[in-house]
Amino acid sequence: MPLWTDYRYDEKDYISLINTLKQNNKYRYAILLQECNLKGSVGRFKVLKLSEGYLILSRFEKIRKLNMPLIDLTQHSLKLICYILLIPPNEDRIRLQVNRNYLRLLLKRIKAVSSSKYWYGSKRKFTRDYLKYVNQVVLEGNRLIATCFVHKSTIYGFNKKLKKLVFDHLTNIQGMSASKANFVISKYLTFLRR
């Protein structure tokens, strides 16, 4: 399983899961394994290779060749690096939801590059380079939330913290005035969008 700090979201890693959940299915149980030698059985269960390991989606609570209990997604959710799998109340299909911890990780990456430690002793303190990196991180988040469900409050909270980080960097490290920093943010900063 990749480290949280090293992983960068790529839709290709999860395309099999995304396509499986877009189709009409009756999967209710799931488990994530590091190693698996099972092959999927049509109509019973499906084995998907993900960056975390092997995800098994099943219609039934038990699989003969597997001696482990499966998670009932109506009762508990299953967390992946970028996603959470769950079945909400009054629904019968698995919902793919964004993992807020991964969005927090994106903010930590932006915070690390926004600190004075990152720029200490550097002659390249260009606003353009800084905003380019921040926008790349936010675009990674936009690609993620385009494939799954995300609460509006999560997007709002992310954008609020993002704006504060960038504003603090522009005023404290880059030495801009508050009005110029607000102008740069409104014109050049990319926000998380649904």
The per-residue pLDDT string of the chain (194 residues; one tens digit each, 9 = 90 and over) reads 333 557 788 889 999 999 999 888 889 999 999 988 888 776 788 999 998 899 999 998 988 888 888 999 999 999 999 999 999 999 889 999 999 999 999 999 999 888 867 666 565 567 888 899 999 999 999 999 999 999 999 999 999 999 999 999 999 888 899 999 999 999 999 999 97
State the greatest distance between any 2 C-alpha atoms of the chain, in Å, as a whole number.
Answer: 66
| CA 85 distance to own-chain centroid | 12
Q: Which two structure tokens, joined as six digits, stand for 106?
A: 């994106």
| HEC sequence for 143-169 | HHHCCCECCHHHHHHHHHHHHHHHHHH
In the chain, the amino acid numbered 12 is K
Q: Which two structure tokens, joined as six digits, stand for 40?
A: 């999927």
